[in-house]
């Protein structure tokens, strides 16, 4: 019997204690939000960076070649070409052959907003330090689009 009374007393006291508690203060809520914000600030760049790294193999080699072609064009004051073959997975710069990543094939291409016709086409880097605007369609709704002023490509899906 005494145990029942003690249990009821503890339970009643606990409930009264919570009922009289004012809850979280504004300061406590702000501290929790600040901690969560710092956590997201640390975690999100890693998550987004991981997503961006997936597109890196598609663009890294071609961006390096475009930069090299641009530098050579500016230095030697000549137009420099990178040659592509439609339907293939290879492209050529100077005397070297390069392969598109993942065994992807070049299905369609546009250079300066004109669709490439024929089997072979070229992208040019100019002495002014710019290159042609081009879009390379690699299938599976993956396109590489260039930024002519930077001589760089980026991946677009969809």
Give the helix/strand (H/E) hosting 83. strand 80-85
Name 147's Cβ contacts closer than 8 Å, sequence gap at least 6: 153, 154
Q: Domain 2-157 maps to which CATH number in 3.30.1490, 3.55.40, 3.40.91, 3.40.720?
A: 3.55.40
CB-based contact 111:132 (threshold 8 Å)? yes
pLDDT tens profile 58-96: 788 888 889 999 999 999 999 999 999 998 888 898 888
pLDDT tens digit sequence for 109-139:
999 988 988 889 999 999 999 999 999 888 7
pTM value is 0.62
Q: List, in sequence order, every beta strand (DSSP E) within 86-147.
A: 90-93, 96-99, 108-111, 114-115, 120-125, 134-137, 142-147
């Amino acid at each position: 019997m005494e145990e029942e009374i003690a249990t009821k007393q503890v339970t009643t006291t606990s409930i009264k204690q919570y009922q009289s508690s004012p809850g979280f203060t504004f300061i406590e809520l702000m501290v929790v939000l600040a901690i969560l914000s710092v956590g997201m600030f640390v975690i999100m760049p890693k998550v987004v960076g991981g997503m961006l790294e997936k597109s890196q193999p598609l663009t890294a080699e071609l961006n390096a070649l475009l930069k090299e072609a641009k530098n050579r064009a500016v230095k030697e004051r000549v137009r420099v070409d990178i040659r592509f073959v439609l339907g293939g997975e290879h492209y050529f710069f100077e005397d070297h052959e390069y392969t598109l990543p993942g065994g992807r094939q070049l299905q369609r291409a546009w250079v300066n907003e004109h669709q490439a016709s024929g089997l072979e086409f070229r992208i040019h880097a100019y002495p002014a330090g710019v290159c042609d605007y081009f879009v390379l369609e690699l299938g599976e709704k993956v396109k590489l689009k260039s930024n002519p002023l930077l001589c760089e490509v980026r991946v677009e899906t969809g």
